Amino acid sequence: MEAYNFETTIKPFFWVASEKTFSVCLNAGSYKPDIFDWRKDDGFEGNGYDWASLAKVFVQEKKPEMADEIKFDPEADMFCAYSTNPEKLKEFVLEFKNTCEDELAVQDLVSRAELD
């Protein structure tokens, strides 16, 4: 059996660890750029802010128990979620990526995402 590799599993998201905070980031536009296409008329571009909006809906609806643990700090070209709890952040990114891989599930979330 192949050894589980967290960093490979979450690609193109990437893990950043610092002294007290852990982050998971994504270069906006590098992953599933078409997710936001059908909301272009609403102003969605697929930038870091749009990804954060999508992630917020995901946490609110699918993982409300994480709402106090996971924070977001997006920029135009980068999505970033962070936490002081690495296990919660790992759980978040694994489940968020799984949801993004499910076209119907992610479109459902995008339909309720709000522009920041």
Spatial distance between the Cα atoms of 17 and 38, rounded to a whole number of angstroms: 34
Q: What is the pLDDT of residues 36-90, one digit of tens each?
A: 998 999 999 999 999 999 999 999 999 999 999 999 999 999 999 999 999 999 9
Spatial distance between the Cα atoms of 59 and 67, rounded to a whole number of angstroms: 6
Domain range annotation of the chain? 6-110
Q: What is the pLDDT of residue 59?
A: 98
Q: What is the pLDDT of residue 116?
A: 74
Q: What is the pLDDT of residue 2?
A: 53
- The answer, yes or no, to whether the previous bond of 12 is cis (omega within 30 of 0) is yes
**Where are the extended beta strands (E) located within 6-100?**
14-17, 22-27, 71-72, 78-83
The structure tokens listed for 17 are 């660890």
Q: What is the pLDDT of residues 2-33, one digit of tens each?
A: 567 999 999 999 999 999 999 999 999 889 98
Q: What is the pLDDT of residues 91-114, one digit of tens each?
A: 999 999 999 999 999 999 999 999
Spatial distance between the Cα atoms of 31 and 63, rounded to a whole number of angstroms: 22
